[in-house]
Structure 1
Amino acid sequence: MPDSRNRIFVSVAVSKPDGDLGELPGVIRASERMAAWADAHDYIPLLINDNDFPEVTIELLRTEISKVIKEVTNRSALRRIVIFFAGHGASFGIDDQSWMLSNWDKRPTEAVKVSSLQRMLEYYGPEQVTIIGDACQEFSAKFIEVVGSPVLDKPAEERRDYELDRFFPVDAGSQAFMIKANGEEQAFCLFTEVMLDILEGDAPEKYFETIDGSRHVTSQTLAMYLKDNLATEAGKYGVIMNPRPRPGFYTDRIYYSLPKQDMPASSKPLRARGSSTDRIILPLDSVDYRSPFGRSVPRLALTERSDQAHAGELAEALKETHFTNERDYAAAAYDEVSDYFETGCGICFSGAEINKVHASRGSLSQEYLPPNWYRLELSNDHDPLLWADVVVEHGDGNSSSACIVQNFITAIHVFEQGRTNVLHRKLFASVKEGQDIISLLGRMHAGLLTENEIVDSAAFLRWGKHEVITVGVVASQFYDSIRDTESLRSIAAFYAKNNQPIPLDIVLFGGGRLFFRDGSLYANVPATPLREPRSEVERERNYTFSATKEVFEHPVAGRVPWMRQAWGAIETADCHESAKEWRALALRVLPHLGAGPFTLVKREGRDALLALAGIVTRREEDTGTMRAMD
């Protein structure tokens, strides 16, 4: 009988990745149990793990996911697709995480780049997408080579917005935990088990929402349950896990429906399909909040096995890391820079040694300026739409880039580890101006903001984007993470309205369509409708929810993405035929990206970066000689 289901649940686990990462036997069990739950709740389950397959690769995921999507879309609309992953993960910045596959250490693209996958799914037409990642979001030098992949190929389809739910066990820089086997008890993933409890209806009454007279677990109550219970359960094992769920469904919000009380319960004990052991469900009265109608996947009893001392040590260590990152960011932001160049724009460097500076257009000069300060003369110092990409060669052989915009001073601080911090200040602006914005940026990069503060901060940053132009790019990363394309387009439209070029990253994330002409990029930005504000902070700032007009072929600032996270949007960006050569140049740089929030490229990627920026250099024996070509 043909399968008529129109919801897909992809359950992936990698327990034995290469690269000296520890084995995680519990993730196999997690993927099997989630697939069993999905099959019992009217999803088409797709189970892929390295127990059933020799290895889990991008090619395998692409083939199997594309196949099941096609099976559904050939006969109906794809109502919902859930992507679940259990295994090792890494974070590279604000909401920029990747999941490690079997060969991640052999090939930099053998990892799932979550933000890129979210964007690529827009071309496949699902009405709803759920992303569940039972993985760490670790900051680690061992993942520095990882580029990641959007998994799916880009089809010849128009992108369509969808509703997005995201459920992760921890925030950037933190670890998720698998509980190791103990005696007869098998290893298991703590976040998965806490989530399965609520997905099976094993939860107090307050986590059910009444819709049309029936009781349901919804996006919002699922998020509430995770926030209320995961940290408590993790504490029983002496570890810290503070989830950051992001419920975004607003039409069909249901994950589990409690059968009506007059419905007879089955007399047969339920068994878990696809789990590592075919276990009969425990008696209904053995655990508090047990669903009176049984479970499709047996419950694990989570019990205390450790004291709280280790948890406290982990919390203090993570807190210190966050505050160190915040202090570093703020210190770099307050380095001395010029507030004026007679040419109307320029760039100032501080921190570690730099060697050469190349500009894609205009003329750079240092005459009568302090060391590492450069004025840039563009073709018309009265045109606020002009810009130039700058590529900087560092003392360690790596290169970074930044975009100089007319009427702004670009400030770059180079840290000893090679990463950079970039800010754009308006001409004549005091270093004291925008301190509140800089402080907020520091807290964002340090991972010190709560979920509600993130939405409010993005709204606040948009207010200051025309004075410190970098902040609009940072705000766009948050909107990208929740796939709020209307806010991305709204930001882009306000740059155009303010007679400023649109930073490239905003367009890449979904803020418009890119065109290429005469060595520069331009963007068409769709109009956005009036919407309801999502918080009191947004309500006080009507620019966050007011309608914007369509924008046609407006100049884009830069040919090089400003921040590392935007490189993951190259493959998924909406590009006109004229911009395809530009996309090809960008993809040649991608394998050579370095670490840090802003664009940094390793030594071997220097020439590819210069080509992308459109920079032609003349090598002369005098190493101090530099030519910037128009």
Structure 2
Amino acid sequence: MKLFLTIGVSKAPPLSHLPGAITVAREMGDWARNSGFITEVITDENKNPVTIGRIRETLLGMLPANDQVELFILHFAGHGFRSGAEQNTWLPSDWHKEMRAISVEGLKRQLYRHGIKSLSIFGDACRSLPTDIDTADIFGDPVLPRGPYDAVAPIIDRINAVGDGQQAYMLKGDGVAPPRCVFSTVLIEGLCGLKDEAFDKHNPDCVIPESLALFSRDRLKEIGETYDLKCSPDYATGIPREHAIYFRRGENPADIPIPQWPAPPSPLVHAPDNNGEDLQASPLDIKFRAFKQHFRDSLSLHSYLAPRSLNLAIRGAVPKKIWSTFPVEKILTNADEAAYRVRGITDSAIQILVEFDDGVFASAVVYEDLITLISRDENGEINWTCVSRWSEFTDGLNTSINVIKDLQAGNLSADQVDDITAKLREAKHINPTLGAIASYLYDYTGDIDSIRRMAFFYCIYAQPMPFDVAFMGLLSTKDMGRGAIVADVPPIPARQQSLANGRLPEWVTRATDGGMGQVAGLWPWLRQGWQFMEDPAPQEKAAAKGLRDVAKFLLPSQFSSFREQGARILIDRFHLEARE
């Protein structure tokens, strides 16, 4: 059984009208039906808005209750934005009114429970950061309820119109050709076998995920030159290479009409050079310099405090209270900085909430043998990281700062996930926040095994693993009482080698044994993890207990922070006390 769902949203007020989304949704649907897919097309034609409820109803009608799906393709054309590390959000028609949007990662994870062997996700939407706090505060809806099967990650292929943090394009119609979204039209050319360049070099009769991705990359360069656009698609394809075949010569119909492209503007009107310093990224750079200085100023405490005397430093605002289940001792307080000693048991990790005078609560985890640094800038953005107490902490801090900057700016590219996560994992024990970020990058490509390999190494080094690693790795968890959660890590076979991952370190691809380890923290470290608290898998229920109602009180920082109502739920649920 092969399934295909295409969603085209042309009207998502107050954002611009995108009639090209309807054009490409229709053409995608025609290709899928002609290729033997059970096909559904959802658009907002005839004043019929695209809502999350409508998508949910359509999906539930498509997905079988007792049959396996060989290939499921999900395509979207419309508006979207990025909500975290490789976390994508698609906007339905009523997103602005309902303050809910489609969480692509949440929906993908729900599809794990529907017996799907191969899942292809084609996203033709912008992936830039939200431009205002209202957009940043929109909750990502996973769309589907829990499915009939245990969660098993399929082989996943992701092809997006643009890289993280960038804008997608639509061309207006010209009276001959209709308006059309650029990326989806290129996909149609490849999926329909209309271009020889879309066929696989090793199997020249087939269009497969990798050959479609490579064709899209080269074709979009050509289209970009024609229409004076900067097109840079983003892709990550699964292995083995031929796990999915989109088109095969002799089996698919050959009479599919060639998509008509609008005539290019003549003469071309060149847009300003977006590589200069006038980019929208400039305010981010200014903001980030303050954040970087906050972290470095926090480390200046190290120069006049004994290394063993502190394991928590806060810069940018002095807390009103610190909530914890363990004692907290104040060591130093200045105008906008403070240092503390959180006293726990050896090899433990303590969940804390930091309450500020304006009712904002920052979340962080303090390790017994590391220093947790929390930074709050003048705009209220909260970040935190960990460093070693000893001489190597400066290099570790530089790595952490650069990773968090890339996380915020959208520079963590899907086609470099393996390389990026390997670098993050090298320092994940000095700074466990890097392990948490790596878990979301692996999840983007459906690489659950790599998250579990990472969890194994936390176990053998007897260091509590970040909550996000345990949760994104779909690990079975057990609540041991008094805030102690342990995770069961299953044995994982060696990863299949490919040309792309042949240069990775052995510890990234090796087989790992099973183990059991403590979970660090009582809730997600990163904001993007909260979308998975609404409907956890059965093995995750112990860790997610009591967290569902907190998500609506999240603040838009990358790391978890809360309005007072949400923090009070956590304080009551986990019996936290005001320790300072």
TM-score, normalised on structure 1? 0.83
**Structure 1, residues 198-251: CA drift from partner, whole Å, max 9, x if none?**
11222244743343xx61111111111111121331343333221101111524
- In the other structure, the counterpart of 2:112 is 122
Q: What amino acid is the match of 1:471? A: L
Q: CA deviation at 1:77?
A: 1.6
* 2: CA distance, partners of 1:68 / 1:556: 37
Q: CA deviation at 1:155?
A: 3.1
* 2: CA distance, partners of 1:341 / 1:229: 59
Look up the SS of the partner of 1:507 in the other structure.
helix
**Structure 1, residues 333-373: CA drift from partner, whole Å, max 9, x if none?**
4333245767675211113x344232322111224565633
Does residue 1:17 correspond to 2:2, yes or no? Answer: no
Q: CA deviation at 1:440?
A: 4.5
Aligned-pair Cα RMSD in Å: 2.8
Match of 2:260 among 284, 295, 300: 300
* 2: CA distance, partners of 1:149 / 1:121: 13
CA contact (8 A) 1:330 1:438 kept: no
Instruction: Point out the more displaced range, 224-233 or 321-330.
Output: 321-330
1:334-373 alignment runs, 5 A limit: 334-337=296-299, 338-339=301-302, 346-351=311-316, 353-368=317-332, 372-373=337-338
Match of 2:21 among 27, 46, 63: 27
Structure 1 pair 379–168 and aligned structure 2 pair: CA distance change class (3 A): closer
* 2: CA distance, partners of 1:253 / 1:576: 30
Match of 1:138 among 128, 135, 147: 128
Structure 1 pair 416–440 and aligned structure 2 pair: CA distance change class (3 A): closer
* 1: CA distance, partners of 2:250 / 2:541: 56
CA contact (8 A) 2:85 2:407 kept: yes
Does residue 1:257 correspond to 2:248, yes or no? Answer: yes
* 1: CA distance, partners of 2:206 / 2:283: 40
Match of 1:58 among 52, 56, 61: 52
Identity among equivalent positions (%) equals 25
Structure 1 pair 255–318 and aligned structure 2 pair: CA distance change class (3 A): farther
* 2: CA distance, partners of 1:558 / 1:479: 20
Q: What amino acid is the match of 1:193? A: T
**Structure 1, residues 494-543: CA drift from partner, whole Å, max 9, x if none?**
01111100110011112511221213222111111122455687645211
**Structure 1, residues 131-180: CA drift from partner, whole Å, max 9, x if none?**
11111112121412211111110135311121001111112221111212
Match of 1:196 among 188, 192, 208: 188
Q: What amino acid is the match of 1:317? A: L
Does residue 1:416 correspond to 2:378, yes or no? Answer: yes
Structure 1 pair 395–167 and aligned structure 2 pair: CA distance change class (3 A): farther
Q: CA deviation at 1:444?
A: 4.7
* 2: CA distance, partners of 1:244 / 1:480: 16
Structure 1 pair 196–540 and aligned structure 2 pair: CA distance change class (3 A): closer
- In the other structure, the counterpart of 2:234 is 244
**Structure 1, residues 400-451: CA drift from partner, whole Å, max 9, x if none?**
2111111111001112222222111122245423256236513454333555
Which segments of 5 or more consecutive residues in structure 2 lack a partner in the other structure? none
Does residue 1:374 correspond to 2:366, yes or no? Answer: no
* 2: CA distance, partners of 1:533 / 1:304: 44
* 2: CA distance, partners of 1:438 / 1:14: 38
- In the other structure, the counterpart of 1:464 is 427
CA contact (8 A) 2:360 2:562 kept: yes
Which segments of 5 or more consecutive residues in structure 1 lack a partner in the other structure? 1-5, 267-292, 618-626
CA contact (8 A) 2:353 2:363 kept: yes
Structure 1 pair 494–538 and aligned structure 2 pair: CA distance change class (3 A): farther
CA contact (8 A) 2:492 2:513 kept: yes
CA contact (8 A) 1:24 1:87 kept: yes
1:318-333 alignment runs, 5 A limit: 320=282, 327=289, 330-333=292-295
Q: CA deviation at 1:102?
A: 1.9
Q: What amino acid is the match of 1:530? A: A
Match of 2:102 among 87, 104, 112: 112
* 2: CA distance, partners of 1:28 / 1:556: 46
Look up the SS of the partner of 2:161 in the other structure.
coil
1:482-493 alignment runs, 5 A limit: 482-493=445-456
Look up the SS of the partner of 1:527 in the other structure.
coil
Instruction: Point out the more displaced range, 150-159 or 354-363.
Output: 354-363
**Structure 1, residues 540-596: CA drift from partner, whole Å, max 9, x if none?**
5211011111123x21100121111222232454444872xx635211111122223
Instruction: Point out the more displaced range, 31-40 or 173-182.
Output: 173-182
* 2: CA distance, partners of 1:105 / 1:614: 36
Q: What amino acid is the match of 1:21? A: L
Look up the SS of the partner of 2:98 in the other structure.
coil
Match of 1:228 among 201, 218, 222: 218
CA contact (8 A) 1:27 1:188 kept: yes
